Amino acid sequence: MFGLIGHLTSLEHAQAVAKELGYPEYADQGLDFWCSAPPQIVDEITVTSITGQKIQGRYVESCFLPEMLATRRIKAATRKILNAMAHAQKSGLKITALGGFSSIIFENFKLEQQFQQIRNIKLEFERFTTGNTHTAYIICRQVEQASQKLGIELSKATVAICGATGDIGSAVCRWLDKCTDVAEMLLIARDGERLLALQEELGRGKILSLEEALPQADIVVWVASMPKGVEIDASKLKQPCLLIDGGYPKNMATKLQHPGVYVLNGGIVEHSLDIEWKIMSIVNMDAPARQLFACFAESMLLEFEKLYTNFSWGRNQITVEKMELIGQMSVKHGFRPLLSFSS
Ligand code: NDP
């Protein structure tokens, strides 16, 4: 059985969902209450592959909220993730994806080194995967396929990657460098040293601020770990411009409706068959029976293939070969990148 550890995008979102799911005692509570709430299994899942194989899984709500990071409640944030992992392991889940901020917190606060034992449970890290290899693969396929749809030629295109030094961002850069003939890459993040290291690894790419990069880009890939999205002035963008927002919560605060600007939900896959679950309607997917985060799909793929291993682990180690491998499994079991633009 596979697992998914997820969280909601804001306190307001969490309160609304608690009411909807029948937890009225959570619905009127503030951030402090959510800091002390235990993880919950709130969904049972059945997925059928196009090969006919059927698997079962569970969704574990960690009760983490991005406001915990914004208000520096770091201890609460790390406790949420570790408790959710212990809960998943105790429930017998063999391979569990760490969705959204779960893996970012786990890696950035180096929890593997500090917390191997949660009460009477010794965490077995090989039971978890960040899901980032599949996410990076799907975002790259979205770049390739959506640009073609819009008539943007990659060989003439400038692609800006916001969050380029991150786990997903660096994998996207590697793929664009090795597997496409993209003309130019603009690398955006805050830490200058890590940007220089990435530029050296790639042997290419211009380091620019977001403000400098946006007007030059034909395609923008958003994969920054921002607890809250940034405002974008669409009139400063090229036309056409393809914006692929892979952040959770979204990196872009505004819903853009501007001629020539095309927004795609990044790192989202569509399954060929309906999935039996309710969790994706809670996170407002357009087609909740079929659409899901690529990181969640990674744990499903590992369960289908009985690969009980932390396929994606650590930071900035995702190779093009591993992206190709998870990509083959993705196609085999009936997943494809989302290609319909947001309206
Ligand atoms: P990482 O923490 O590994 O990387 C984050 C990157 O964003 C770093 O390059 C960081 O560099 C940069 N960054 C953070 N804040 C800013 C900022 N204000 N301005 C510019 N750059 C910034 O994160 P991941 O690669 O694991 O995840 C990236 C995003 O993808 C997250 O939003 C995550 O929730 C989402 N995600 C989506 C999935 C899906 O299935 N669709 C699956 C997993 C993750 P620096 O700190 O130097 O600025």
Q: What is the pLDDT of residues 61-118, one digit of tens each?
A: 999 999 999 888 999 999 999 999 999 999 999 999 999 899 999 988 888 888 788 8
Taking the C-alpha atoms of residue 326 and residue 343, their distance in angstroms, rounded to an integer, is 30
Pocket test for ligand 1, best of 223, 301, 315 (most atoms within 8 A of CB): 223
Any ligand 1 atom below 6 A from CB of 228: no
Q: pTM for this one? A: 0.96
Looking at residue 343, its pLDDT comes to 63
Looking at residue 18, its pLDDT comes to 87
Taking the C-alpha atoms of residue 283 and residue 214, their distance in angstroms, rounded to an integer, is 28
Percent of the chain with pLDDT over 70: 100
Residue 75 structure tokens: 């201890």
Answer whether residue 302 shows pLDDT above 90: yes
- Between 278 and 246, the more confident residue is 246
Burial group, residue 227, by CB count within 10 angstroms (0-12, 13-18, 19+): middle
Q: pLDDT band at residue 282, thresholds of 50, 70 and 90?
A: confident
Taking the C-alpha atoms of residue 323 and residue 331, their distance in angstroms, rounded to an integer, is 12
The model's pLDDT over 20-52, given as tens digits with 9 standing for 90+, comes to: 888 888 889 999 999 999 999 989 999 999 999
Taking the C-alpha atoms of residue 242 and residue 222, their distance in angstroms, rounded to an integer, is 11
Pocket test for ligand 1, best of 225, 265, 293, 330 (most atoms within 8 A of CB): 225
* Interval 287-301 mean pLDDT: 97
Q: pLDDT band at residue 181, thresholds of 50, 70 and 90?
A: very high
Looking at residue 147, its pLDDT comes to 98
Ligand 1 atom closest to the Cα of residue 315 is 3
* Interval 259-275 mean pLDDT: 96
Looking at residue 85, its pLDDT comes to 96
Distance from the alpha carbon of residue 37 to the mean position of ligand 1, in angstroms? 26
The model's pLDDT over 124-140, given as tens digits with 9 standing for 90+, comes to: 999 999 999 999 999 99
| Nearest protein CA to atom 32 of ligand 1, as residue | 247
Architecture category of domain 136-267 in CATH: 3-Layer(aba) Sandwich (3.40)
| Nearest protein CA to atom 13 of ligand 1, as residue | 224
Any ligand 1 atom below 6 A from CB of 313: no
Answer whether residue 306 shows pLDDT above 90: yes
Any ligand 1 atom below 6 A from CB of 338: no
| Nearest protein CA to atom 8 of ligand 1, as residue | 166
Looking at residue 23, its pLDDT comes to 83
Pocket test for ligand 1, best of 110, 168, 268, 279 (most atoms within 8 A of CB): 168
| Nearest protein CA to atom 4 of ligand 1, as residue | 166
Taking the C-alpha atoms of residue 272 and residue 291, their distance in angstroms, rounded to an integer, is 9
| Nearest protein CA to atom 10 of ligand 1, as residue | 163
The model's pLDDT over 324-336, given as tens digits with 9 standing for 90+, comes to: 999 999 999 999 9
Domains of the chain, residue spans: 136-267
Looking at residue 160, its pLDDT comes to 98
ω into 24 cis (within 30 of 0): no
* Interval 141-161 mean pLDDT: 98
Looking at residue 278, its pLDDT comes to 87
Any ligand 1 atom below 6 A from CB of 173: no
Any ligand 1 atom below 6 A from CB of 224: yes
* Interval 5-15 mean pLDDT: 93
Q: Where are the alpha helices (DSSP H) in 166-276?
A: 167-179, 192-202, 210-213
Residue 184 structure tokens: 């130019």
Looking at residue 63, its pLDDT comes to 94
* Interval 284-311 mean pLDDT: 96
Any ligand 1 atom below 6 A from CB of 244: no
* Interval 148-171 mean pLDDT: 98
| DSSP 8-state secondary structure symbol assigned to residue 48 | E
Residue-averaged pLDDT of the chain = 94
The model's pLDDT over 228-252, given as tens digits with 9 standing for 90+, comes to: 899 999 999 999 999 999 998 888 8
Q: pLDDT band at residue 187, thresholds of 50, 70 and 90?
A: very high
